[in-house]
Structure 1
Amino acid sequence: MDRQVINLEEILPFSYTRDVELVPMYCFEVKKEVAKDALNIMKDYINNQLYDKYNHLKRCRKCTDSVQILIGACNHIPFELSQKLIEKMKQENNNDEFNDIIITKIMVSKYAPITRKQYIEWSTYWPLYFRKPDKDILILTKEEINKYIKLLYISIDIGKQFGTCNSGCIITYNDEIIASSGDNIKNHPLHHAPMLAIEQVSYKLRHIWLNKQTEKNNLQKKMKIIHKQQINNRDSLNDHKHENNKSNHNILIDHIPNDQYLCTNFFAFLSHEPCYMCAMALLHSRIKCVIFDKENKNNGALSSQEKLHCIKNLNHHFKVFKTIRG
């Protein structure tokens, strides 16, 4: 017997969950008193090495009585710059015998931290900058979790009752179910539950649009009649204007907006992780969020084999959650 669904976990890009990956770099150490001057001398040389790929690395690290300044991937300092550094250190130390800079190998994070947890852990190797990512982690409330779990169980039941392979899908708008389907894979290879549910949505929206067009045409006919009456009887002009505005106002209030495009702002609840075909269909339909139960180890496109919703080059992205059972 399956364990109960107790929570939902967001499927995030790999960059949000990966461990630290370290790369070797080099730094040199100076006294605090000359750190600012040394950094100014080395600034352009350091930035040329780090600007593109390693802009998340801070340029220096404070120690007890000194400061370590990051050089980059090179284990040496150009002669001209090293001479300037040595001269500056001699001035500070009042020591004409100072003639060498000690360069030390260090390990730093290859990637910028995405989460606070990564930032804290990875900064122990070398200080990092933390910049808030474009994609925020969505924190669901207890009420939302319970509501979504109930809707997910409905999709699971639909799959068991009507799916030839026990797969089910429901699509909701403002927490109201507007489409539901089990799969029909044993009779048609393309009839996966999400595909059939999306087809239901498009059918309903198409008929809503046709009804709107019919009402619009009827309104236009009525306007023509009113216009003719206005020509014949100018005294009734104000009354007709009032009636016309009232009719138009009711049409706007009573119906879904004309610009609704397929599954924009809709949620999809699936008994199983969608395959690539279904995931792309949900993406092209502009779904807002997908919540699924069982992973599709061989063909899953949102967690198991790929995280399609996280691919930057795609022109639409949506949130994805999977169940946690306990």
Structure 2
Amino acid sequence: MTTAEQILPFECVLSEEESRVLETVDIYVSDVEPKETERVIKFLENHCPRDNEILCHAKRIKKTSHDKGFTLAVLICSVEKITITELTILINNHNLGSILKPRIQQICKYPAITRSQFDEWRKLWPINFREDPRRETKFTLKEIERIKQYMDNAIQLSSQAKSKGELPIGCILVDPKKNITLSEVIDTRNSTKNPLRHAILNCIDDIASLERSNRVKKSKKIEVPRKRTFNEVTIEGKDDVEITLDEDDFVEQRENVESAYLCVQWHLYIQGLDEYFMVVQTQYQSFKGLLQHKIDDLPLIDC
């Protein structure tokens, strides 16, 4: 059974792009006779190309059907690009004054990321939209049961952290393909007085330490650039460290003040600039509400 056939015990946390409300910008448009379309489009492509981010998601032509047939309107360019006076002169110079009558129209400022955004924003003007199939993460019943167990373990870690005088936050990193727990850590910011010792960063450091140890052992045998793997973690090169967790890896953590979070399709990139400095980037899809009744029993904190 997949997510299409069941109700998940958690909900997706939308990104800023996914939860964005409609914002608009002004553009010039004009009605156009169907027989003049080819000529007009050629003029627009040569003199008013859609070469900016504002219009890249918008379609050039809008078709409106009605009882007597249909009418066409063309997108000319952004209002920011040219004044109405300059545009009128440009149109007249190409003998299109009787064909194009520019007017200002609003259009969505950003491309639609979700289906709901697309359905709402295209009412202003036709826009391109391609639904990303990777956005819908599917789980089997077996996977959900495992996830619940991992999250329960993370909650227990948070209780252990609290008993030690730490912030009640636990983090678990798992390889779901092999069903192996790679790391289990707690938050240690209280005891270390270090703001960077958050549970998630401790988890990352734990994995990095294991890989460094593995790397030192192998470096004694071979001293040339190489590529090797450690629990779905890929290390490339000799001097720089680049760690990429498998696309299907996920992290369960007790985080924030209201809910625990499940993170899937988690990409972790760690690049060592030298022995002291390291750059860390992460990409993941997050869910909330898993085992919420147990989370509610934990003290509220500001992470």
Give the TM-score taking structure 1 as reference length.
Answer: 0.59
Matches within 5 A, 1:246-261: 259-260=228-229
CA distance in 2, matches of 1:16, 1:315: 24
Partners of 1:291 and 1:321 within 8 A in 2: no
Aligned to 1:321: 286
Match of 2:52 in 1: 52
Shift of 1:259: 2.0
- The one of 73, 76, 89 aligned to 1:79: 89
- Runs of 5+ consecutive residues of structure 1 not aligned to the other structure: 1-5, 90-100, 218-256, 266-282
Please tell me whether the aligned partners of residues 179 and 201 of structure 1 are also in contact (alpha carbons under 8 angstroms). Answer: yes
Of residues 59, 65, 68 in structure 1, which corresponds to 2:73? 68
Aligned residues: 237
Higher relative contact order (CA 8 A, sep 6+): 1
| 1:24 positional shift | 1.8
1:158-169 matches, cutoff 5 A:
158-163=157-162, 164-169=166-171
- 1:156 deviates by 0.9
* Cα 1:260–1:197 shift into 2, 3 Å: same
Q: Provide the aligned C-alpha RMSD in A.
A: 3.9
Aligned equivalent of 2:33? 31
Cross-structure match for 1:151: 150
**Residue 123 of structure 1, CA deviation:** 1.0
Q: State the AA in 2 paired with 1:141.
A: F
d(CA) in 1 for partners of 2:43, 2:200? 61
Cα distance in 2 for residues equivalent to 1:199 and 1:103: 59
The 1:183/1:316 distance shift into structure 2, 3 A limit, reads closer
Q: Distance in 2 between matches of 1:38 and 1:61?
A: 14
- Runs of 5+ unmatched residues, structure 2: 1-7, 235-240, 269-278, 294-303
Q: Which has the higher strand share?
A: 2
CA contact (8 A) 2:160 2:168 kept: yes
Spell out the pairing of 1:97-108 with structure 2 (5 A cutoff).
Answer: 102-108=101-107
Q: Which amino acid aligns with 1:193?
A: A
Specify the structure having the higher radius of gyration (Cα).
Answer: 1
1:183 alignment counterpart? 187
Partner of 1:114: 113
Instruction: Tell me which residue corresponds to 1:94.
Output: none
| Compared CA separation, residues 9 and 260, structure 1 to 2 (3 A) | farther
Give how far 1:80 is off. Answer: 5.2
Percent pairwise identity: 18
